[in-house]
Amino acid sequence: MDEALMKKLRYLRLNGLLANWDEYISVAREGNYSHVRLLKYIIEHEYKIKRENSRKMRLKRAKVEEEFVIETYPFDRQPKLNKKKILSIYDSFDYIEKNRNIIWLGPTGVGKSGLATSFLIQAINRDYTGRAILFPELVEMLYRARGDHSEEKIIRKFASYDCLYIDELGYVEMEPVQTGQFFTLMHKRYKKKTTMISSNLGFSEWNSFFKNSQLTAALIDRLLENSHVINMKNCTSLRAKPIQK
């Protein structure tokens, strides 16, 4: 390939074609491809490269700490967990297609984050945008944004994700303004996007940190209106080593 052609490919951002030029030529010669067949072959490969690069970029922007997948979750160690229900939700993909929320409730270490992350990654792999964030980090980010007048921008950003996973909801001393900001964000996502929340606390305990009974009741009511609730309260910690038989 001459330098002029390389420059044109870079200008057109056809990096896959640039990187695989020799391979494409070789395949065409060995397979005795027609011009049309070769063009289709190149376009198909370029399409796959673009999609994969986009998927990787979405995953990077989602800030997923560990890339859990549903296939590796140890359901055999959680006999009290409704495996059939979880796999049915996962396989149907209705949590995204119907903008349904998923609430994961249970003690530390039972695998709430791992399961929720696998759902988030599934959405990302299917061309949707997503983001994972700790609840304390989110409310602090919203609070700081108020000080530099970027609150509307931050709320709009988090409201735009197709799937937002908020981990470790609770255990934060919240100011009234933070409760209001969080409610505003959830209101903007209401029936428009999918929100996943994991918490060690049951719904009856949420007012202990939101400190506003009316807003707490309204928030829970809206979250539950179109959602799946996964109760993991009776599950055991996966951090403990399984007993050897």
Q: Answer yes or no: is pLDDT of 53 > 60.
A: yes
Give the pLDDT band (50/70/90) at residue 243.
very low
Instruction: Give me the residue label for tokens 């890339």.
Output: 67
Q: Answer yes or no: is pLDDT of 244 > 80.
A: no
Identify the pLDDT of residue 173.
Answer: 86
Q: Answer yes or no: is pLDDT of 120 > 80.
A: yes
pLDDT, average across residues 167-179: 92
Give the pLDDT band (50/70/90) at residue 241.
low
Locate the DSSP E strands across the chain.
101-105, 130-134, 163-167, 194-199, 227-231
> Which pTM does this prediction carry?
0.87
- The CATH number of domain 70-231 is 3.40.50.1000: no
Would you list the domain boundaries of the chain?
Answer: 3-62, 70-231
Instruction: Work out the angle between the directed axes of helices 176-189 and 151-160 (0-180°, nearest 10).
Output: 40
The model's pLDDT over 54-102, given as tens digits with 9 standing for 90+, comes to: 999 999 999 998 999 999 999 999 999 999 999 999 999 999 999 999 9
Identify the pLDDT of residue 39.
Answer: 87
Identify the pLDDT of residue 55.
Answer: 96
**Residues 237 and 200 sit within 8 Å (Cβ to Cβ):** no
Identify the pLDDT of residue 19.
Answer: 87
Chain mean pLDDT for the chain:
92
Q: Answer yes or no: is pLDDT of 210 > 90.
A: yes
Cα–Cα distances in Å, from 186 out to 37, 159, 218?
Answer: 50, 8, 10
pLDDT, average across residues 157-182: 95
Give the pLDDT band (50/70/90) at residue 240.
low
Q: Answer yes or no: is pLDDT of 171 > 90.
A: no
Among 34-38, 63-67, 164-168, which stretch is predicted with the lowest mean pLDDT? 34-38
Q: Which ranges of 103-236 does DSSP label H, i.e. alpha helix?
A: 112-125, 135-147, 151-160, 176-189, 207-210, 213-225
Tokens of 169: 């909801």
